[in-house]
Amino acid sequence: MEANKTILQMKYARIVAIFAKESGMNLEDALSFFYESDTYNLISEGIADMHCRSDEYLADELMIEYKERGAKQEKT
């Protein structure tokens, strides 16, 4: 299923705002992380109807991905 592009952009803004607050990042860094994330790719490609999930759920998915990347960077 393909979502309306304007509605998706509004959803992205809400997700990034939640993620920024939870992670302690500023909005610019949170937005950069979001657009480089696997979560964004899944949402934008309509995989598993991720765009239908709540903003909070998707922000939580971003936090999981953020923590996993941090753990991987610590190992290297």
The whole-number pLDDT of residue 20 equals: 98
Residue that wins the pLDDT comparison between 73 and 47: 47
Per-residue pLDDT reduced to its tens digit, 31-40? 999 999 999 9
pLDDT above 80: residue 71: no
Q: What's the pTM value of the predicted model, to 2 decimals? A: 0.88
- Give the Cα separation of 71 and 20 in Å (integer): 19
The whole-number pLDDT of residue 22 equals: 96
Q: How many domains does the chain have?
A: 1
User: 64: domain range?
Assistant: 5-75
State the virtual CA torsion across 67, 26, 4, 36 in degrees, nearest 10.
-50
pLDDT tier, 25 (very low <50, low <70, confident <90, very high otherwise): very high
pLDDT above 60: residue 55: yes
